Structure 1
Amino acid sequence: MHVRFEDSTNVQASYLTVTAPETSPNTDGIHVTNTQNITISNSIIGTGDDCISIVSGSQNVQASGITCGPGHGISIGSLGKGGSEDHVSKVTVNGAKISGTMNGVRIKTWQGGSGMASNIVFQNIQMNDVTNPIIIDQNYCDTNNGQCKQQSKAVKVQNGIVLQNVQLDKGAECSNVNLAYKGSVSPRCA
């Protein structure tokens, strides 16, 4: 982890450049935990893990003018690890260029956790050469540890998850998408 904002309020972070080798594990560029009212703007982040990770207890998080890559993209989470109760709300990522990353934008919650990720907006985002552009995973499990079991509870992802004007490069595939809204299934992207 390079830059960490923890237990903070009313933070302005701008014009940061954060780099680490693409092959370096666990090197989040900017990590936000239990922080309220934070703005991250006009920053360049390239690491071996998340460019920005926003985890439990964080709310009113704004990120704009972000250049991300290489790395694992911009993540909400992980949340709910070890059965914990985690909450993240009112996050807006508006204006990001994500290139050469494993993931684009992601909400990641562990099996068996509880809590909620709500009011999350990803808008005006351009992605190029991103392996997994959009991921919402409510049942994450570390398959390397062999602890994966179907769980009956999970962190809720609800109340205004918005993806708006998210652009992928030509040839990017959209598959296995099936979103439900108020009980009815949306059209599939195939």
Structure 2
Amino acid sequence: MTTVFQRYTGDEISDHSIQMTQRVLETSTHQFPIDVLALRFEQYLADPSSVHEKYPWAARFVLGFPVSSWQRGLAWNAGQKARFITAVWSGAGLGSYLTNDWCGSAGGHMAMDENSDILIDGQQRLYSLEQYFLDQLAIPDAQGMPRVWSEIGNSERKRFLSTIFAHSSVSSDDEKALRKTYDLYTQGLAPRAHDQRAAQ
């Protein structure tokens, strides 16, 4: 049996009225090492109160990023977190995390407008990194012994931190568009129940 595949079809048989799902906001993606995230987290831990003052509306912070109240909560279990960290060590593909680069100042005060600089997608993966960096997650070494971050020497830390984790970003103050973007990013990887979607 021969299967026919054509990258493009002839105009005479295509239906121009059909349109498939497309992105809501223009997205850019850059390849950065995990060290960029670790540095941000280090800076956050040095003065968390000032970060909380800057984003008073944040439901929580993950690796120093504010997370909006309309996103689902932390859901991964210990096994899922450990598998992600093991994937970093083994050089597996990590996908990408998505942030909103837009920042609006709330009337000249130190506080930023809601949805400024938020983490939109990747919360579970970034929280896994946070717990690992804080020794709250032990990962088996090459001999199968559980190890926390503080036990690992600098050469191995450098290898981990140099792993590329793609950073995608949008830039918008439109919460409706941000919610739709959140739903689109999450629906294909880990389907959300209706009550977990941001755009209701």
After TM superposition, is the score higher than 0.5? no
Q: Which has the larger radius of gyration?
A: 2
**Greater share of strand residues, 1 or 2?**
1
TM-score, normalisation: structure 2: 0.22
TM-score, normalisation: structure 1: 0.22
